[in-house]
Structure 1
């Protein structure tokens, strides 16, 4: 991963915290930062089997794996108000998520299956997962 890509991912993570300085300090000194969900994005929580299958099938956008448990997909704010996919949950305001530093792409512990590539306030491309694409991927008979 290039330095520019690491910096872009670190910025994406830091901007997701109301106190970006807090998040940046944690990212520079620890493996993980706990971020409030519902500030810049929501997160769809999917069991690890179908979640990793969706990523392998080419779903665009960042994905965090909590090994043998869940995959979390950052999605646009407001998704929690309309998300109705059986066996999944959409986390919104009042929830927190452990987010790994941008260079952690394998265990132990929580890591990125697909790293973020943009700003959470920017376009969906690479920054957030499109909820309609995620819903379609999870409904695919191949999963």
Structure 2
């Protein structure tokens, strides 16, 4: 298990697949999703933890040639989410959710397992962390990012 992944929850939420196979879940029923590039997502998680903020479930999956993180957020987040470099996913979208035992690469897996059925990352704290991560990356690359 990676250091970003907590232990398996004692009683997984109802939307976690039972068994060894992932399942397609409708977004907007239990949670909304914010998709972020892997590098920005890792840094955002580190910033949230440094600031003592809760980090809800995060799925890591690949889309072709790049890895993407999917932060599970409170329902309704996607409709108001406007953060550069991210993609909000709400109603009419779906997410492939890995089984609770999938906590290591390769393939679709939990980077941060759900700690409970309602513990999700707070939108305002993730928004700030992503902004800081993008500014840091811009400074490292010698460009300005907002």
The equivalent of 1:80 in structure 2 is 78
CA–CA distance in 1 between the matches of 2:35 and 2:82? 12
The equivalent of 1:100 in structure 2 is 98
RMSD of equivalent CA atoms: 2.1
- TM-score of the superposed pair, with normalisation by structure 1: 0.76
The equivalent of 2:41 in structure 1 is 51
CA–CA distance in 2 between the matches of 1:48 and 1:5? 22
The equivalent of 1:31 in structure 2 is 21
> What does the per-residue CA deviation read over 1:2-47, in whole Å, with 9 as the maximum and x for residues that have no partner?
xx94442x3x1x2x3xxxxxx65xx21x331111100111000111
Structure 2 unpaired stretches of 5+: 2-6, 138-146
Structure ranking higher in helix proportion: 1
- TM-score of the superposed pair, with normalisation by structure 2: 0.74
CA–CA distance in 2 between the matches of 1:97 and 1:135? 21
Name the count of aligned residue pairs. Answer: 122
CA–CA distance in 2 between the matches of 1:33 and 1:50? 26
Per-residue deviation, 1:93: 0.8
The equivalent of 1:135 in structure 2 is 127
Q: What's the secondary structure of 1:137's corresponding residue?
A: helix
